[in-house]
């Protein structure tokens, strides 16, 4: 019996023991960095800034900032491009094209969500930066960089949707559902946020050359300030900021227009981050293939109808109207648009040769019968032969830098400001710089000429539709091209229904939708 | 709370120490136990001295020896037999006969941390015998119990390596974790594919909270307890059971042939396009005639061999088994095999100390297939050849889909799994009324998969296609190697008190259990790995583009359990359980959950006033209430996790940023299900007719769902996992079983069950419906889970017919329609009333995949040496969305022959099927079909060679049989299978990438030595 009693004692002890130590149930996530721990790192603030720049890659068919879907929205809605691809493909793009867009269009929701995810990262970075112990100048530069991006993002939002919820700090979880954040601020309030952010950036960022390539610069902030003031018709401010950029001496035009959009310089000119580039998305090749704006190039690449390994989805294709908008001898036409060659020329021996279209890098696209569309965006082309390849088989991940702000835009903004302020001569001088580069002669510095120049100079660079709206002639121009644009409605896109539902109906809809 | 409980348990134990036993002058009694029915000796009958701890059991010859007091009474018990009490009365030789228990209710059921006589059970439980499971040619035991138990829905699959979906009493959750809890010999697990069905003694299914609450936080979906075989005292028994068979697709959908296909598309292009021939006469004339399902499907060979040895002495019993199962599946390149070993031993060290070790090892080797191929075969154009002289037809040129046969043959995905599962237990029985048990279980799961994609070109000299071009190619070969290593241990310590005072029977269980899980996963990818299979290692690949990843998971649980079973005079029954569950999966504020239950039972047939009658043998009313939980979501969802390694290139140099893009619910907790059950067990005419009826009501609160949150909050996926839903499952279950023996030659039994379940969401956070089931193209999401509807309801347009003429169109909400188009009901608009436009406002709820009724009829018939058994299963009331038909991603996709044949044309106006069209149609009831089916699951005919003919071959038993699994299905559903496995309850019942159901014909033998 003694043994038995021992055994009971042992079992009783076991039961008590397997009640276990107090921290048995305290287990941290494995292989994942918990927020508290991440913030212990003294570099956390700087890393959060890196996370903000990373939002420039938001793209593909998912949430986006300046990527493929935002590009599509702006270009397709305008007279520059059509939805493209095969007729049944990408119906959401078709709605944009035909102004039948509804609040349920996923493109709009992904633009909304992408921008706010990015803005939340900015707000978080500002929050941590403000508590950081960096030297004041470093702190201000980093704050300037993220506020520059927040300004850019709100500028996209306000142009797309009008007034939107204003978030310039990290809301406490309990505030997430408050009216303050769930209702739309006015267009004016958002513009104030943009101007303050960009002005702070302009005041605190270094000039190009005084900071690492790819980071936001004073010039970039001033250029965007100029653009925002141009949308607000504040011409003296446009002049002030563009003049600052021009006088900085940091920028010039690339003489070979086609070279602007190449990865590498052509005859020592152009390429990524060229002399004309003021702000561009810096892509790169890494193992994760996640330092790219997905689909930006492949989404717009020439699409096969069969028989060849094509270059992309063929979405966002230039219209005939755009092709016809170029003056004769305008070098920009051939540099901006890939024209699919429909001819079949006989060879010397007499049998037909499939000549197709030869691209700058030697890639030969077959003739029209094997190609889905007639024209494609050359500016988004990323050469599979002569430029950095993506790591894997996935062509969606082509590392194509997106040129968001170029010196030519600054020159044209300057010209438009001068024209509006009555200095036609000054306007003509800058306009002519842009025209000469394209192989064209001088033109009078009138607002009409500048507008016309903007279209061909900045075609398919996320500018045309908002530019038409700004100019107040979107309805007139687009209706003349057969688009059912309704004044007072189509200047803005509808607020995504999904977001309205989530706000409990507190987000109001734009007129007409 | 915990502390109190622990100390209490310890105290009780210590108090119990101070008890003793008395011994007196004894005599030696020898004897033999036989079955009264046939005189066969009974091996392993337990013999106890009434009122004492002393006992023994019969040996291989049915003999026993025991030393007892001359006036003692011996109690003989044997599973499946009625207990016998024999007074010794100074006799030294006893011949005891035992008779088969007339009542199925006398069965012992496994109830979790113990067993109980079925007649004492107050909860709703069911038991399936191992023999009924092993007789079916399926991998997972759950597939074999389809249709056997009321309230248990099993969705099976033809995939040789699939774990069937099991739903006990309806869908019990909205976010993953809808599977029941599996407990194999005390080890809690999520996957039972490592268990050889031939090793199973029984499967016990706990359905209501009174039965399941002992498993607390994970019991909300019901519990399946699997008990494996152990040896019995006596001579060694050797069994060999084997079958071989052939599998084929049970049902295929007829696709259009080339001429039908071309005719349809060209006709459609007259309506919609230029009128040109989309598919030219030349293409058809020079093309192939491919049935893509013929091309990618095969007949699969299946075989299964099991060898077991068992036996034992008074000190040691053993069971050893080895099993091999191979199943080639029915899709090209698919192949599966599994090898299992089991060793279950029990060592009776002393009269009061028993050690047992139950160890199983399984090794599986699977060449899996991408089920996308099954979907693509539906779309591929029929005039393209599948494969000619090693060159493939180029389907991506015809309609932008890859050649499915090529996709299958150009990858080699192999998984090798080794799993060791075992438990080691120490049972101490210091006094007759107390058992102490400490059981330590381990589950080690190692899995390695090697997925290789062969390089192949579509242009040039190395093209693998008959025609060059298209977009199906793999520039570089790629290799993904995954190595996963999961370890789990569970340690149960329990004490069970069992005491009978007069008419009071008391059984108390208290215990502590803890559990710890660790997972470590390594994954590496390489490109440009040579095609030679001996080089499929990461080291053989290119360093460019190499990726490596390592992930982990870890969680722990610590729980306190208790149960009281009390019976008064076998008439009044009480079961009360309580479990306190502590878990690392939830924040410290929500770390402990408490799960009580109470069950009451009244054996009316045992009452005095029932004694006189003979009709009613069993009549028990049961009622129970309890709370159970569900914690099956990802570990650590409450932690805010940083997204790291977010790249950005500054001046061509990569910088790694971070972000906090996921807002977690820092107060997330388990789901709670509160369940009421009211039941009745009945047995008539000496329990020849038995059955049960149950009504249950389950209400799940704090159900975990992913709610969408506004994008302005900056959550990257805008999803937030939180406890925000409430839903109910209510139902009725009815079972009946009849056994009859007509004469010595003929006997039969037949049983049936039917159950009804109604699932309804009653509360969603802010009424935000959960939308899922994306079909692709313009159909969008087709399921929606909303208040007042079942989980995963289809939410689509209601198709009401076909427009026949312009007049009908003018009067409709579809002004742009043309004759032959589908008409949809205009149900709503922005303000809730029909607005003359068909848009999102017109979607409506039209049912869900969840069946209202599930039922099965099972029977067997024995004539002399022949036996015939049949199992059937069916469901009714569920709907299926025919996702394959609805997809239509490219205008040149192939169509079902019936779609072509039945289409509307001006000459042959149809009232139900639309005209030929090119684009994808909107999501509507046109694609929704009834999922009702009734199936003969298994039909087996066996012949047992009579014993007398066997004896000279030293064979105890020999039976040969032929069986058909899934012999015939009656269903109105036009797709491939009405059984659709889906892990996500929110989008269940969409047929797209589903492994087709298979039909198997087998031949087998059972040999016993």
Chain B residues 659-678 with a CB less than 8 Å from chain A: 659-661, 663
In this predicted structure, the answer to whether residue A369 has a pLDDT above a threshold of 50 is yes
Let me know whether B757 and B862 are in one domain.
Answer: yes
Whether B428 sits inside 8 A of A28 (CB atoms) is no
In sequence order, which ranges of B853-994 are alpha helices (DSSP H)? 883-887, 897-901, 947-950
Q: What is the pLDDT of residues A125-140, one digit of tens each?
A: 999 999 888 899 999 9
User: Is A282 close to B551, i.e. CB distance below 8 A?
Assistant: no
**B274: Cβ–Cβ under 8 A, 6 or more apart, which residues?**
none
Q: Which helix (H) or strand (E) holds B762?
A: strand B746-764
Closest residue to B469, CB basis, from A307, A501, A504? A307
pLDDT of A408 over the 90 cut: yes
Q: Which distant-in-sequence residues (6+ apart) come within 8 Å of B420 by Cβ?
A: B359, B360, B361, B442, B443, B444
Residues B50 and B168 in one domain: no
DSSP string, A361-425: TS-EE--GGGBS-SEEESTT---TTTSPPPSSS-GGG----EEEEEHHHHHHHHHHHHHHTT-HH
Tell me what the mean pLDDT of segment B211-230 comes to. 94
The CATH number that applies at residue B595 is 2.40.170.20
The two counts, helices (H) then strands (E), for chain A are: 19, 10
Given B236, B260, B287, the domain boundary residue is: B236
CB contact under 8 Å between B657 and A51, yes or no, is: yes
DSSP B196: -
**B994 and B875 share a domain?**
yes
A222 near B CB under 8 A? no
Let me know whether B421 and B357 are in one domain.
yes
Q: What is the pLDDT of residue B304?
A: 95
Residue B870 lies in a domain: yes
Q: Provide, as residue numbers in chain B, all residues whose Cβ is less than 8 Å from the Cβ of A63.
A: 716
Domains and CATH numbers, chain A: 43-204+472-513 (1.25.40.390), 298-381 (no CATH)
Judge whether B323 and B339 are in contact, CB under 8 Å: yes
Which of A134 and B847 is assigned the larger pLDDT? B847
Query: Does B548 map to a domain?
Result: yes
Same domain, B754 and B900: yes
Cα gap A281→A404, rounded to integer Å: 7
State whether residue B555 sits within 8 Å of chain A by CB.
Answer: yes
> Which of B51, B77, B101 marks a domain boundary?
B101
pLDDT in tens, B896-906: 999 999 999 99
CATH number (domain holding residue B184): 2.170.130.10
Residue B931 pLDDT: 94
Residue A372 to residue A378: CA distance in whole angstroms: 16
Contacts of B20 in chain A (CB under 8 A): 1
Q: For chain A, say whether B550 makes contact (Cβ under 8 Å).
A: yes
| Mean pLDDT across B310-314 | 91
Tell me the DSSP string of A436-449.
HHTT-------HHH
Return the higher-pLDDT residue of B60 and B459: B459
Q: Cβ neighbours of residue A341 under 8 Å, at least 6 residues apart?
A: A355, A356, A357, A365, A367, A368
Q: Are residues B354 and B219 in the same domain?
A: no
Q: Which residue has the tokens 């192989």?
A: A439
Q: How far apart are CA B167 and CA B165, in angstroms?
A: 7
Contact list, B3 vs chain A (CB under 8 Å):
19
Q: DSSP letter at B797? A: B
Q: Which residues pair with B440 in a beta bridge?
A: B424, B491
| pLDDT at B10 exceeding the cut of 60 | no
Asked if B59 and B150 sit in the same domain, the reply is no
Q: Check B639 against A51: CB less than 8 A apart.
A: no
pLDDT tens digits along B470-506 = 889 998 899 999 999 999 999 999 999 999 888 899 9
pLDDT band (50, 70, 90) for residue B508 = very high
Higher pLDDT, A153 or B35: A153
Could you tell me if A416 and A447 are in contact, meaning their C-beta atoms sit under 8 angstroms apart?
A: yes
ipTM of the prediction: 0.94
Interface of A with B in 106-135 (CB under 8 A): 109, 112-113, 116-117, 119-121, 123-124
How confident is residue A98, by pLDDT bands cut at 50, 70 and 90? very high
What is the enclosing helix (H) or strand (E) of B623?
Answer: strand B616-630
Render pLDDT for B525-564 as a digit per residue (tens, 0 to 9): 999 999 999 999 999 998 877 889 999 999 999 999 999 9
- Tell me, what's the pLDDT at A343? 66
By C-alpha distance, the chain B residue nearest A213 is: B651
Residue of B nearest to A371 (CA): B470
Number of domains in chain B: 4
Q: Tell whether A172 is within 8 A of chain B (Cβ).
A: no
B203 strand-pairing partners: B128, B226
- Separation of alpha carbons B428 and B349, rounded Å: 10
Q: Inter-axis angle of helices A407-420 and A424-437, to 10 degrees?
A: 150
**A289 token code pair:** 């293939």
Task: Give the B window 569-608 contacts with A, CB below 8 Å.
Answer: 582-584, 588, 591
pLDDT in tens, A321-332: 999 999 999 999
Lowest mean pLDDT among A415-429, A485-499, B55-69: B55-69
Residue A175, pLDDT score: 80
Tell me which residue in A15, A27, A283 faces B512 most closely, judged by beta carbons: A15
Per the CB < 8 Å rule, is A124 touching B659?
Answer: yes
pLDDT for the residue B31: 87
**Is residue B640 a part of any domain in this protein?**
no
Number of A/B CB contacts below 8 angstroms equals: 271
Q: What is the DSSP letter of B432?
A: T
Quote the minimal CA–CA distance from A184 to chain B in Å.
Answer: 11
**CB atoms A15 and B640 under 8 Å:** no
Q: Which of residues 173-202 of A touch B (CB under 8 A)?
A: 173, 176, 181-182
Q: Are residues B573 and B600 in the same domain?
A: yes
pLDDT at B16: 41
For residues A318 and A339, what is the distance between their CA atoms, to the nearest angstrom? 9
DSSP helix/strand/coil, B985? helix
Secondary structure letter of residue A475 according to DSSP? H
- Would the pLDDT of B245 be above 60? yes
Q: Does B776 touch chain A (CB under 8 A)?
A: no
Q: DSSP letters of B671-735? A: EEEEEEEEEEEEEETTTTEEEEEEEEEEEEEEEEEEEE--GGG--TT-EEEEEEEEEEEEEEEEE
CA dist B938 → A280, B251, B309, B904, B968 (Å): 67, 16, 28, 41, 9
pLDDT surpasses 70 at A19:
no
**Nearest by CB to A38, which of B545, B591, B658?**
B658
Q: Is B789 inside a domain boundary?
A: no
Q: Quick check: A290 contacting B, CB < 8 Å?
A: yes
Q: How confident is the model at residue A413 (pLDDT cuts 50, 70, 90)?
A: very high
A81-106 burial, b if ≥16 CB within 10 A, otherwise e? Answer: bbbbbeebbbbbbbbbbeeebebbbb
Question: What percent of chain A has pLDDT above 70?
Answer: 93
Q: What is the mean pLDDT of residues A329-351?
A: 80
Task: Give the whole-angstrom CA distance, residue B689 versus residue B666.
Answer: 54
Least confident segment among A108-122, B80-94, B522-536: B80-94
For residue B641, being part of any structural domain is answered with no
Subunit contact B766:A176, Cβ cutoff 8 A = no
Sign of CA dihedral B269, B271, B276, B277: positive
State the nearest Cα–Cα gap between A428 and chain B, in angstroms: 35
Q: How far apart are the CA of A381 and the nearest CA of chain B, in angstroms?
A: 19
**Between residues B898 and B42, which one has the greater pLDDT?**
B898
B657 close to A57: Cβ distance less than 8 angstroms:
no
Find the angle CA(B149)-CA(B151)-CA(B155) to the nearest 5 degrees.
Answer: 80
Instruction: For residue B396, give the chain A residue with the closest CA.
Output: A306
- Whether residue B713 and residue A176 make contact (CB cut-off 8 A), yes or no, is yes
Give CA–CA dist B12/B512, Å, rounded: 14
The pLDDT value given to residue B98: 83
One domain, residues B760 and B808: no
Closest CA to B102 of B684, B552, B561: B684
> Which of A7-21, B14-28, B76-90, B296-310 is predicted least confidently?
B14-28
Alpha-carbon span B295 to B281, nearest angstrom: 24
Mutate to test the interface with B, among A4, A46, A91, A93 (most CBs of B within 10 A): A4
Q: Does B712 touch chain A (CB under 8 A)?
A: yes
| B656–chain A Cβ distance below 8 A for any pair | yes
Domain that holds residue B825: 799-842
Joined together, the tokens standing for residue A359 give 């691209």
Distance CA B532, CA B540 (A): 10
B residues 745-774 near A, CB within 8 Å? 766, 768
* 3-state DSSP assignment of residue B202: strand
Asked if residue B387 has pLDDT above 80, the reply is yes
pLDDT digits (tens, 9 = 90+) for A442-475: 999 999 999 999 999 999 999 999 999 999 999 9
Distance from CA of B7 to the nearest CA of A (A): 7
Q: How far is CA A236 from CA A251, A415, B19, B317, in A?
A: 21, 12, 102, 98
Same domain, yes or no: B953 and B941:
yes
- CB proximity list for B680: less than 8 A, separation 6 or greater: B619, B620, B621, B622, B692, B693, B694
Instruction: Tell me how far apart the alpha carbons of residues A294 and A61 are, in angstroms, rounded to a whole number.
Output: 8
Question: How much of chain B, in percent, has pLDDT values that exceed 70?
Answer: 96
Q: Is B252 on the interface with A (CB under 8 A)?
A: no
Across the range B426-455, mean pLDDT stands at 94
Between CA B319 and CA B185 the distance in angstroms is 14
Residue B137 has what pLDDT? 85
Question: Domain for residue B517, yes or no?
Answer: yes
Q: Which two tokens stand for residue B722?
A: 């939180």
Identify the domain boundary among B81, B101, B121: B101
pLDDT in tens, B97-123: 887 765 444 578 898 898 888 888 999
Give the count of beta carbons closer than 10 Å to the beta carbon of residue B246: 16
What does the pLDDT average to over B494-520? 93
Buried b / exposed e across B123-134, counting CB within 10 Å, b at 16+? bbbbbbebebbb
B643: contact with A, CB 8 A cutoff: yes
Does B5 have pLDDT greater than 70?
no
Query: Whole-angstrom Cα distance, residue A148 to residue A131?
Result: 19
User: Is B499:B566 a contact under the CB 8 Å cutoff?
Assistant: no
Q: Are residues B158 and B262 in the same domain?
A: no
pLDDT in tens, B915-955: 998 888 999 999 999 999 999 999 999 999 988 888 788 88
Question: Which residues of chain B neighbour A7 with C-beta distances below 8 Å?
Answer: 353, 428, 430, 436
**Cβ contact, residue pair B493, A26, below 8 Å:** no
pLDDT-derived band at A13, boundaries 50, 70, 90: low
- Number of helices (H), then strands (E), belonging to chain B: the values are 13, 50
Strand-pair partners of B379: none
Residue in the block written with tokens 């699959």: B157
**Does B657 fall in a domain?**
no
Most A CBs within 10 A among B278, B581, B647, hence the mutation to make, goes to B647
Q: Are B980 and B995 in contact (CB under 8 A)?
A: no
Selected residues 195-234 of chain B with any CB under 8 Å from a CB in chain A: none
Q: Answer yes or no: is pLDDT of B124 > 50.
A: yes
The vertex-B560 CA angle with B559 and B566, nearest 5°, equals 140
In angstroms, rounded to a whole number, what is the distance separating the alpha carbons of residues A506 and A415? 42
Q: How many CA atoms lie within 13 A of B291 on its CB side?
A: 9
Q: Which of A92, A120, A150 to substitute to test the interface with B, most B CBs within 10 Å? A: A120
Measured CA to CA in angstroms, residue A209 lies from A197, A216, A219, A403, B653 at distances of 22, 11, 11, 18, 16
Question: Measured between CB atoms, does B453 come within 8 Å of chain A?
Answer: no
CA angle B189, B191, B195 (to 5 degrees): 95
The pLDDT mean for chain B works out to 90
Residue B892 lies in a domain: yes
Residues B131 and B275 in one domain: no
Any idea which residue has 């062509």 for tokens? A395
Q: How confident is the model at residue A4, as a pLDDT? A: 56
User: Cβ contact (<8 Å) for A117 and B716?
Assistant: yes
């Amino acid at each position: 019996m003694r043994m038995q009693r021992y055994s009971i004692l042992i079992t009783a002890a076991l039961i008590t023991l397997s009640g276990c130590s107090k921290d048995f149930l305290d287990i941290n996530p494995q292989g994942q960095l918990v927020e508290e721990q991440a913030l212990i790192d003294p570099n956390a603030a700087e890393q959060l800034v890196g996370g903000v720049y990373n939002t420039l890659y938001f793209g593909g068919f998912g949430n986006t900032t300046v990527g493929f879907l935002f590009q599509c929205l702006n270009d397709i809605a305008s007279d520059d491009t059509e939805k493209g691809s095969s007729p049944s493909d990408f119906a959401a793009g078709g709605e944009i094209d035909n102004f039948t867009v509804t609040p349920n269009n996923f493109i709009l929701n992904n633009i909304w969500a992408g921008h706010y995810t990015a803005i939340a990262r900015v707000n978080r970075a500002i929050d941590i930066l403000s508590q950081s112990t960096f030297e004041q100048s470093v702190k201000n530069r980093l704050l300037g960089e993220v506020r520059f991006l927040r300004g850019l993002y709100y500028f996209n939002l306000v142009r797309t949707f009008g007034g939107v919820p204003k978030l310039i700090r990290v809301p406490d979880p309990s505030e997430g559902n408050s009216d303050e954040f769930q209702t739309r601020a006015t267009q004016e309030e958002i513009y104030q946020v943009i101007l303050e952010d960009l002005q702070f950036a302009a005041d605190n960022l270094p000039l190009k050359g005084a900071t690492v390539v790819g980071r936001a610069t004073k010039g970039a902030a001033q250029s965007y300030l100029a653009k925002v003031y141009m949308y607000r018709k504040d011409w003296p401010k446009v002049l002030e900021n563009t003049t600052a950029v021009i006088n900085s001496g940091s920028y010039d035009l690339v003489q070979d227009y086609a070279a602007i959009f190449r990865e590498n310089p052509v005859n020592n000119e152009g390429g990524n981050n060229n002399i004309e580039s003021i702000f561009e998305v810096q892509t790169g090749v890494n193992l994760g293939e996640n330092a790219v704006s997905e689909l930006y190039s492949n989404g717009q690449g020439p699409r096969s109808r069969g028989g060849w390994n094509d270059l992309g989805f063929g979405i966002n294709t230039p219209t005939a109207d755009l092709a016809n908008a170029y003056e004769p001898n305008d070098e920009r036409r051939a540099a901006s648009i890939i024209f699919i060659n429909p001819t079949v020329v006989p060879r010397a021996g007499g049998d037909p040769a499939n000549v197709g279209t030869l691209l700058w890098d030697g890639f030969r696209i077959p003739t029209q019968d094997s190609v889905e569309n007639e024209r494609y965006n050359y500016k988004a082309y990323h050469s599979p032969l002569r430029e950095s390849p993506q790591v894997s088989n996935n062509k969606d991940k082509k590392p194509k830098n997106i040129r968001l702000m170029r010196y030519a835009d600054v020159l044209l903004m300057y010209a438009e400001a001068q024209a509006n302020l009555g200095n036609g001569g000054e306007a003509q001088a800058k306009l002519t710089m842009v025209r000469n580069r394209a192989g064209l002669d001088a033109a009078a510095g009138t607002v009409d000429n500048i507008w016309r120049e903007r279209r061909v100079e900045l075609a398919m660079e996320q500018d045309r539709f908002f530019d038409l709206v700004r100019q107040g002639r979107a309805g007139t121009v687009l209706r003349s091209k057969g688009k059912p644009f309704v004044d007072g409605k189509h200047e803005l896109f509808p607020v995504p229904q999904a977001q309205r539902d989530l706000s409990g109906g507190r987000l109001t809809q734009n007129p007409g939708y | 709370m915990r502390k109190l409980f622990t100390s209490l348990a310890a105290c009780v134990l210590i108090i119990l120490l101070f008890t003793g036993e008395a011994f007196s002058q004894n005599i030696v009694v020898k004897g033999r136990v036989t079955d009264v029915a046939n005189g066969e000796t009974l091996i392993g009958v337990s013999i106890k001295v009434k009122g004492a701890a002393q006992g023994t059991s019969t040996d291989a010859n049915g003999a026993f020896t025991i030393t007892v007091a001359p006036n003692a009474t011996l109690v003989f018990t044997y599973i499946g037999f009625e207990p016998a009490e024999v007074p010794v009365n100074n006799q030294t030789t006893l011949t005891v006969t035992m008779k088969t228990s007339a009542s199925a209710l006398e069965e012992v059921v496994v109830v979790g941390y113990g067993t109980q006589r079925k007649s004492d059970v107050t909860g709703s439980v069911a038991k399936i015998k191992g023999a009924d499971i092993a007789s079916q040619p399926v991998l997972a035991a759950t597939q074999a119990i389809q249709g056997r138990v009321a309230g248990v829905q099993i969705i099976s699959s033809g995939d040789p390596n699939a774990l069937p979906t099991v739903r006990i009493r309806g869908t019990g959750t909205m976010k993953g974790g809808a599977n029941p809890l599996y407990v194999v010999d005390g080890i809690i697990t999520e996957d039972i594919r490592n268990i050889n069905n031939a090793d199973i003694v029984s499967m016990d299914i706990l359905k209501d909270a009174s039965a399941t609450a002992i498993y607390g936080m994970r019991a909300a979906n019901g519990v399946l307890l699997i008990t494996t075989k152990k040896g019995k005292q006596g001579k060694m028994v050797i069994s060999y059971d084997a079958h071989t068979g052939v599998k084929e697709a049970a049902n295929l959908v007829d696709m259009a042939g080339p001429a039908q296909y071309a005719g349809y598309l060209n006709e459609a292009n007259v309506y919609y396009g230029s009128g040109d021939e989309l598919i030219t006469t030349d293409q058809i004339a020079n093309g192939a005639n491919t049935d893509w399902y013929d091309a990618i499907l095969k007949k699969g060979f299946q075989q299964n061999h099991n060898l077991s040895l068992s036996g034992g002495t008074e000190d040691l019993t053993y069971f050893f088994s080895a099993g091999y199962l191979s199943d080639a599946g029915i899709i090209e390149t698919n192949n599966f095999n599994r090898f299992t070993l089991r060793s279950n031993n029990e060592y009776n060290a002393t009269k009061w100390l028993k050690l047992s070790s139950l160890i199983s090892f399984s090794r599986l080797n699977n060449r899996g297939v991408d089920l996308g191929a099954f979907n693509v075969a539906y779309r591929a154009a029929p005039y393209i050849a599948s494969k000619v002289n090693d060159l493939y037809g180029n389907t991506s040129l015809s309609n932008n889909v890859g050649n499915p046969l090529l996709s299958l043959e150009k990858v080699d995905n192999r998984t090798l799994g080794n799993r060791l599962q075992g438990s080691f237990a120490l049972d101490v029985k210091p006094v007759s009324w107390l058992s102490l048990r400490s059981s330590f279980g381990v589950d080690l799961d190692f899995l390695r998969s090697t997925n290789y994609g062969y390089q192949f070109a579509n242009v040039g000299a190395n093209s693998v296609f008959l025609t060059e071009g298209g977009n199906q190619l793999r520039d570089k070969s790629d290799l993904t190697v995954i190595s996963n290593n999961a370890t789990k241990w569970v340690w149960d310590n329990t004490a069970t008190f069992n005491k009978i005072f007069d008419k009071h029977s008391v059984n108390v269980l208290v215990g502590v259990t803890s559990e710890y899980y660790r997972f470590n996963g390594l994954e590496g990818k390489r490109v440009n790995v040579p095609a030679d299979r001996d080089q499929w290692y990461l080291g053989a690949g290119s360093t460019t583009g190499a990726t490596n990843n390592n992930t982990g998971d870890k969680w722990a649980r610590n729980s306190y359990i208790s149960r009281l079973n009390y019976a008064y005079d076998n008439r009044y029954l009480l079961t009360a359980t309580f479990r306190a569950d502590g878990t690392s999966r939830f924040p410290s504020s929500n770390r402990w959950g408490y799960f009580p239950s109470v069950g009451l039972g009244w054996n009316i047939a045992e009452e005095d006033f029932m004694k006189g009658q003979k009709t009613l043998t069993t009549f028990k009313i049961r009622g129970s209430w309890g709370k159970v939980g569900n914690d099956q979501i990802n570990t650590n969802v409450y932690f805010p996790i940083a997204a790291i390694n977010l790249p950005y290139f500054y001046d061509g140099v990569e910088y790694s940023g971070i972000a906090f893009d996921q807002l977690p619910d820092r107060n997330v907790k388990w789901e709670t299900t509160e369940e009421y059950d009211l039941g009745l067990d009945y047995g008539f005419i000496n329990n020849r007719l038995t059955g049960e009826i149950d009504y249950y009501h389950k209400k799940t609160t704090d159900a975990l769902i992913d709610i969408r949150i506004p994008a302005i909050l900056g959550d990257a996926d805008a999803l937030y996992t939180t406890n925000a839903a409430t839903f109910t499952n209510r139902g009725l279950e009815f079972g009946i079983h009849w056994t009859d023996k007509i004469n010595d030659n003929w006997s039969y039994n037949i049983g049936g069950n039917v159950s009804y379940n109604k699932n309804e969401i009653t509360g969603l956070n802010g009424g935000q419906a959960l939308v899922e089931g994306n079909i692709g193209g313009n159909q969008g999401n087709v399921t929606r889970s909303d208040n007042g509807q079942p989980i995963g309801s289809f939410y689509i347009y209601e198709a009401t017919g076909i427009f026949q003429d312009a007049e009908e169109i003018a009067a409709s909400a579809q002004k742009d329609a043309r004759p032959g188009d589908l008409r949809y009901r205009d149900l709503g608009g922005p303000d809730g009333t029909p607005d003359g436009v068909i848009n999102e406002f017109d979607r409506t709820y039209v049912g869900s995949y969840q069946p209202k009724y599930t039922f099965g009829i099972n029977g067997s018939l024995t004539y002399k040496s022949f036996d015939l058994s049949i199992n059937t299963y069916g469901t009714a009331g569920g709907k299926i969305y025919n996702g394959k038909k609805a997809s239509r991603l490219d205008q040149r996709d192939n169509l079902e022959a019936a779609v072509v044949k039945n289409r509307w044309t001006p000459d042959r106006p149809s009232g139900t099927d639309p005209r030929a069209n090119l684009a994808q149609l909107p999501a509507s009831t046109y694609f929704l079909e009834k999922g009702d089916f009734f199936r003969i699951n298994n039909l087996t005919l066996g012949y047992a060679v009579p014993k007398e003919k066997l004896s000279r071959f030293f064979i105890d038993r020999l039976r040969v049989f032929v069986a058909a699994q899934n012999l015939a299905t009656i269903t109105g559903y036009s797709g491939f299978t009405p059984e659709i496995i889906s892990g996500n309850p929110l989008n269940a019942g969409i047929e797209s990438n589903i492994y087709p159901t298979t039909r198997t014909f087998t031949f087998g033998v059972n040999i016993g030595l």
